Structure formats: C-alpha cells, structure tokens
Amino acid sequence: MKNIFLNMGYFLKETITVMRLNLLSNILSIFSTGLILFILAMTISGWRISAKAAEAIEGEAEISVYFDKGMDNQGALKLVESIKRIEGVRDSRLIGESEAYDRMVKILGKDAQVLKVFDDNPFSPFIEVKINLNAMDHVLEELDHMTGIQYIRDNRDVLDRLGNITHLFRILGYLMGAAVGIATLVILSHMIRLGMQNNREQINTLRLLGAPGIFIAFPFLLQGLLLTLGGGALAAALAAFALKQLYARMAGPLPFIPLPPGGALISGMVIVILSVSAVLGIVGSLLGLLSARNH
Amino acid sequence: MIEFRGVTKKYPNGTVALKNINLKVMKGEFAFIIGSSGSGKSTLIKLILKEEDATEGEIHVNGYSVSTMGRKQVPYLRRSLGVVFQDFRLLPNKTVYENVAFGMQITEALPREIRRQVPMVLGLVGLSKKANVYPSQLSGGEQQRVALARALINKPALLVADEPTGNLDPETSWEIMKLLTEINHRGTTVLVATHEKTIVDAMKKRVIALDRGVMVRDEQKGIYEDESKDGQVHY
C-alpha cells in the first residue's frame, strides 16, 4: 500500500503511456462504454420517473362501494366506520347524491348540460374508499363479506395495468443493468488483456527486476478505471442533457404527469452512473488482469 | 553468496539442461560461466533468478533458499540482485534516468533518495549527459551501460550478467567488461555467463565451464578452452 502511494506519480505516468500506446482503441472504448452507460442512465431515470408516477397514482387508488338502496344515513355511516377498520383502507367517506352529482358536473364540464335531461338526480350515494394498491385483493375480499353492500366499482383493470407498467420498468431496469454490466466488463477486460499482451516483454522485464505484482498491475487497473470513469462522465453529461430536454418538453403539454424534481433526478443519476462506472472499471480491470495472467 | 548443491534441471519436454551441478561462488568473486550454446549457461542464470525451478537439488542465493522459497518472496530475491541481459531489456518508453530510477522505485525508495542516487550511478557508467534521452536514441554499448546502471542502482551484493557483450562489438564489449571489473573491485560479486573466448582468456578470472548440462571445469584464473592430456578440447 505504501508502495502505491509513494509511486502514484509513476503509476499515473505509466497509465498515460499505456493508454497512449493504443490511443484510438482507448478513445473508442470510452465512447462505447459511455453510450452503454448512457442507456443505463436513461433506463434508471425512466424507472425513477415511472415509480414516482405510479406512487402518485397509487396514492389516488380508490374504489366506490354502493350500498343497498333501503339503507338509511345512519346505516351508511356505520358501514363507513366498518370499512375504515379493514386493513389496507386509508380512508373512507360517504358521498351523498348531491356531491356525486356535483362531481359529475365537474368532470363533464360543458357537457354537463346533458344531466338536465333527468328530472331527478340520477346518481346514487356511495362510499368512497381510499386504499393501498397492494392491499386491494384483501380489501375486496373483506368487503364481499360485509352485509348491506350492493355493488363495488373497483377500477381494477386500470390499477392492475398501472402495477404492471411499474413492474415492467423495474424488470427492464434490472435487465439493462445486467446487460450494461456484462458488456462493460467484457469490453474492459479485453482492453486490459490486450494492453498486457502488447506490453508482455516489458512486463517480463519488470518481473525479472523484482517488481511486485501490484507494481506491474496497478497502471492497468488505473487504465480500466479511467476508461470507465471517462465513459461514465460522458454518459452522465449526455443523460443530463437528455433529461433536461425531456422535462422541458413534458412540463408544458403533459402537466398532469407527476415527475420527480429534475435537479434531484439528475444529480442522483450522475452519482449512480459514476459509482457504477468506477465499480465496473475496477472489476473489469481485475478480470482482464486475471485473464492475462492465465494466458 | 551463490551455492548449488546437486542441482538438476529437466524441462517438461525431457531435455536435461543441467545435471548434478555443485557450485559455490563466494563474496567478492568474479566468475565466468562459459560453454557453447545449449550448454546450460542460461538455465543456470534462470535458476539463480528463479525464472525456472530446479528439478532436483538446493540453490542458495544472497541468503535466500531459492529452491524452497514461495512466490511472494521471489521479487525480494530479484531486487537483492543486479541483473544484466544480453538484449539489455530496457523499458523503451522511459528515459535513461527513468529506466535507472525504476530499479529504486520498486523498492519503495524515497523520491529524494532516487534523485540523489540515479545521477551518481549514471556518472559511474559515463552516461550523465544522456539522462533524458530514450533507449532507442542510444548505441548498443550505451544501452548496456544503462542496463548496468539499473542493475547497480540498489547497490546489490551480487551482479549476474547473461551474455552482457553478446550484442556488442569488441571495443564496446571491453568497455563493459572494464566496468564490470571496476564494479567487482568495489566489492560486488560478479557472475558473467559468456562464450566470448577473447574476453575470458584475457581477464584471467575464475572459469566455470559447462558442457551439455554438466560442469566440466572450475578453475581459478582459467581460460576459455582447456586442452587436456587426451588432446580433446574441453570448455
């Protein structure tokens, strides 16, 4: 360890020399790892955005419980209290006929004129139940066992689809992470192995002069780290630019989509990408060194 | 300093490179290992450097038991020796100064110590003015002098040279041999593997002759060829 710190200047100089010897392939490696990491950065950002949207929509997850027409107000309020006690229910509230009517007017806007066709209020009172999306099955099962309930509108299709989209993004994220990791490790370990092959004679001389393994290997390890960090920095810059553009385009026409704060998303993404690239750089270099030693 | 006890080296293809070698080189000695190509000179040097392992026997170098030492110990053994190769083996991307300094860097020497020591050794081999040039800009003799400086930088007690004049013209070869003699006079043990008859005959140093892996002669103040009573020439 003392050896590494004492000779850091030598190692950096040596790394630059090794990189200069294969300048073009090193530049291409930075670009290719940069583009691969850019795809990872965008997938991670898409994952975070979709998770935020899903979280916001999950918070709005609700079902409507219609009770028997013969039930009086007292009975309906008792039912509301019973529903509140079900695990997974965040809140439940009685919505009277007139509130139901007003809500529909709000939804229909100008088309609300059509409601004037009816002589009486066509809407029935119901209980609005806010639930945790994960507990939906349990809540519906419990409601099935309750007396006085005529019909439940659960929006299950919409909620299920939303859950599936979030799940899909998560799986896509894992797959992309694995693909990026493997591709970067393969590129990098080949680069390091190639570098060592090209310098085989010199490495042999260093060994004969008594240079310890770490002394010989460290410049190659640094090379791998610099290549992926370069790629990571390129990916982070491209992804930051792309996300800024995306936010600018979505803010105007699609204001209802809940997005995480742009600054936090970008800085988080930069930290993740640089950390991932550093880890991949070290692991890839070690794999390359191991493979060069075995050959 | 160097001791071989019953050392045999057999390569995996069945070639026996050295057969039952018993040899002792004491501190401060200057010895030539001579023999034609394939006699086992290079194998002997490789065994000293632990580039190869002995098949049988014991080797002791500079206080290290080379035949039993672990892999992690090998760099320490090599750093305790100065080594000069026929093909110089300089690092082409480093200047003369950096090539010589490298020998100290691997021993965790302090930078100020390196800055003090390198010019001194370059002065010894007469290359002070070429410190900042690259090996490709030097003649063969100069390159070998850089290799000598690199070998001497850690003040080794033992210097091993494998055909140090093999790639040099006669005049330059003599310059290198003069340097090796001077180094020996300063107290460093010198072991030179060579097949340069003129040099061996003229220097009148200890001669250890190998022939097809067998040690056939070990003489103080020896010469290259030995015409024995049977009239045959022995190395």
Assign B230 a pLDDT band (cuts: 50, 70, 90).
Answer: low
Assigned superfamily of B1-80+156-223: P-loop containing nucleotide triphosphate hydrolases (3.40.50.300)
How much is the pLDDT for A270?
A: 93
Pairwise CA distance, residues A133 & A109, whole Å? 29
Cβ-based contacts of A212 with chain B (< 8 Å): 75, 106
Contact (CB<8Å) A210/B77: yes
- Give the three-state DSSP class for A12: helix
Q: Any chain B CB within 8 A of the CB of A11?
A: no
Asked whether residue A188 carries a pLDDT value surpassing 50, the answer given is yes
Dump strand ranges (E) for chain A: 62-67, 89-95, 126-131, 149-153
Q: In one letter, which amino acid is A225? A: L
Query: Which band of pLDDT confidence, cut at 50, 70 and 90, is reported for residue A294?
Result: low
Q: Treating both helix axes as pointing N-terminal to C-terminal, what angle do A200-208 and A156-198 enclose, rounded to 10 degrees? A: 70
For chain B, which residues make up each domain, given as ranges?
1-80+156-223, 90-154
Which of A98-102, A186-190, B4-8, B154-158 has the weakest average pLDDT? Answer: A186-190
Taking CB atoms and an 8 Å limit, are A209 and B77 in contact across chains? Answer: no
Residues B136-186: pLDDT tens digits? 999 988 999 999 999 999 889 999 999 888 888 888 889 889 989 999 998
Mean pLDDT of A1-8: 68
SS3 of residue A21 by DSSP: helix
pLDDT bucket at A254, cuts 50 / 70 / 90: low
Q: Is A122 on the interface with B (CB under 8 A)?
A: no
Among the partner residues B49, B103, B108, nearest to A3 by beta-carbon distance: B108
The pLDDT value given to residue A251: 66
CB contact under 8 A, B106 and A212: yes
Smallest Cβ distance to A209: which of B92, B103, B111?
B103
Closest CA to B192 of B167, B160, B224: B160
Cβ pair B106:A6 closer than 8 A: no
End-to-end CA distance of chain B: give it in Å, rounded.
24
Domain ranges of chain A: 2-57+161-294, 62-154
Q: Rounded to a whole number, what is the distance in Å from the CA of A37 to chain B's nearest CA?
A: 33
Residue type, A170: R
* Residue A212 to residue B75, Cβ atoms within 8 A: yes
What CATH architecture is A62-154?
A: 2-Layer Sandwich (3.30)
Of all residues in chain A, what percent carry a pLDDT higher than 90? 17
Residues of B in contact with A215 (CB under 8 A): 105-106
Q: Best mutation site among A209, A214, A293 for testing chain B: the one with the most B CBs within 10 Å? A: A209
* Residues sharing a CB contact under 8 Å with residue B205, sequence separation 6 or more, in sequence order: B30, B31, B32, B221, B222
All residues of chain A having their beta carbon less than 8 Å from the beta carbon of residue B81 are 210
